[in-house]
Structure 1
Amino acid sequence: MAATSRGTTPEPPDVRPRLTVLSGPSGVGKSTVVAHMRKVHPEVWLSVSATTREPRPGERDGVQYFFVSDDEFDKLVANGELLEWAEFAGNRYGTPRRAVQDRLDAGEPVLLEIDLQGARLVRASMPDAQLVFLAPPSWDELVRRLTGRGTESAEVIERRLAAAKVELAAESEFDVTLVNTSVEDVARELLALMDVV
């Protein structure tokens, strides 16, 4: 005869989604992968960064970025309200901590698409975050993608390629590497890592 236990059924373990950070060198296709993924699964919440740069035509506050003044950004940093922040091309960008934490507490999958420096800062402040490195199929392909944009000067491209070498060398710091041979395949793999299927 099978034994039965009286009393309450044990609660299932509290399984909260982890923060997933997607990073990789410039030109590898992070934004393209994220846009495709969110078209298929709009419930995946992508954190909106705060920035001190001016809005470009068509950009709206709270959609592409939260546009803030230098003084406002200083206050966010001083009050510990940013998970990570960095300066790029004379402007500062950062991830608001509270919005990320609120979504995670609500059980929603959260994705950050940030650079290497930002990924390192997130790892330091949220050690349980899942860091995913998006790699190009080859160095030659990355060079082709960066030079093929045709929107930047040779000097800017050289700077981006030098930065890409540094970023590629940091791949071992990440939990998982996905190679971007197909946007659809990588988006599917990323969703599986986030337990969104």
Structure 2
Amino acid sequence: MRHYFKVRSHPLELDLYQSFLDKQIVAIGYPEITVNENQPKTDIIADVERQLMEKYNYSGQGLRLRVGYFKRLLSMKVGDIILLPHQNKEIAIVEVTGGYHFENGYRNQHMSNQVDIKLIKKLSISTLSERLRRSIGVILSISSLDNHSDEIDRLIVSDVNNDYLVAQESNSVLTNNDTYSFEQNVNRNKIKIEFDTTVTKEELETFFLHVTRLVDGSNVNLT
């Protein structure tokens, strides 16, 4: 069964996003920790927990949280999907190609605990649903996105490409005293909307959220 994760690329305010993509890895750091990857996973976790307590003075919820990061990283397997958000603008969808390994030479770069990945595509974060954006925005180094598997799978197979979703062909706005009429072709699909000039941005966002949920939930013809 495929699993889905979000991994932050900014440990200690470092921006490792492009390094992850260039080196085809995702990783978490903790440079004071060393791991014998030939141990059983349960022993690795126990050893990591001990080092987090001894070398970083973590305890209680803070300790459990960081042990959880390692558990999730060690659980990743070939075929799993990871979303890498960057600066609240861009997101890379990558696929796991190799399981956990420890690379001592990357300790000072905060990338010693690694899994191998390959890039599937990059997207504008605006192409994600509000619900998925909220989950990605959670400040955790590694979190599960299994509850968003259907949407992520659709993003993977959609026509949205590595250059982001861009408007193509026609783009027209007609305005009279009472309404806006907007028409645009996006990836060969026509989208047309008309709304009162008094409609607020928040009301438009609510409208599009409902449309997204409607389309996600059923095969609805919105013409």
Same fold flag (TM > 0.5): no
Q: Based on CA coordinates, which of the two structures has the bigger radius of gyration?
A: 2
Class of the TM-score when normalised by the shorter of the 2 chains: under 0.3
TM-score by length of 2: 0.20
Higher RCO by CA contacts (8 Å cutoff, separation 6 or greater): 1
